[in-house]
Chains A and B, each alone.
Chain A
Amino acid sequence: DTEVTQTPKHLVMGMTNKKSLKCEQHMGHRAMYWYKQKAKKPPELMFVYSYEKLSINESVPSRFSPECPNSSLLNLHLHALQPEDSALYLCASSQGPTLEQYFGPGTRLTVT
């Protein structure tokens, strides 16, 4: 199984809401990532988990809170977001940080 799944596919939330994005992989990968992508731009790295521990936080605002409950799951908890946070949020996994990454289909987030 070489698939990374993400839920939900679309999410609309108000600035006072709390929501979570979920990501799952069953490839035994030990590195998992969250990226943010704006239209017509490349993905921007947000967080890296290596062996279930947060190894990289790219100075992401605290309104984004990642969590890695186990080696297959990655969550991104969202709270008090701003309209400029509207974007495609991509999850990815890999055997190692600089090896080929497998991406999920993304969650299209709209903050109203």
Chain B
Amino acid sequence: SQQGEEDPQALSIQEGENATMNCSYKTSINNLQWYRQNSGRGLVHLILIRSNEREKHSGRLRVTLDTSKKSSSLLITASRAADTASYFCATDWLETSGSRLTFGEGTQLTVNP
């Protein structure tokens, strides 16, 4: 399985602090994506980083990718209570029958006001 593993499983911080979540995967990928999910809702795409990229920014989000270590990290700076959610990394892998995304176990982030 190429399922990503994320750590920590849960993270609790104060508003204004930075939050870092990590994702590891097992085989070569074309790209890696991060999604956010508020409780009981659909997932929202945050950022996609391609295998030939090392770092990407989007607003308060910073994603890094280290293909040699098969790992990625998501940094949320200056966190807000509204950032409270589950965060999933998703990797792609290719099979003869097609391509799909496989999601990691997720990190539950709680930002306390």
Contacts and interface: CB of A to CB of B under 8 A. Distances in A.
Interface of A: 4, 40-43, 45, 48, 50, 55-56, 88, 90, 92, 97-106, 108
Contacts of A90: 42-43
Interface residues of B, number: 25
A4 B43 CA distance: 11
Interface stretch (B11-19, B59-67, B103-111): B103-111
Contact of A48 (B35, B45, B100, B104): B100
A102 B40 CA distance: 16
B25 interface: no
Nearest to A98: B92
A45 B100 contact: yes
Interface of B: 3, 30-31, 33, 35, 40-45, 48, 88, 92, 97-106, 108
A56 B97 CA distance: 7
A10 B108 CA distance: 24
A95 to B, nearest CB: 12
Given A45-B100, A56-B100, A98-B101, A105 B45 contact: no
26 contacts: A4-B42, A41-B105, A41-B106, A42-B103, A43-B88, A48-B98, A48-B100, A55-B98, A90-B42, A97-B98, A97-B99, A97-B100, A97-B101, A98-B92, A99-B48, A100-B45, A100-B48, A101-B45, A101-B101, A102-B45, A103-B42, A103-B43, A103-B44, A104-B42, A106-B41, A106-B42
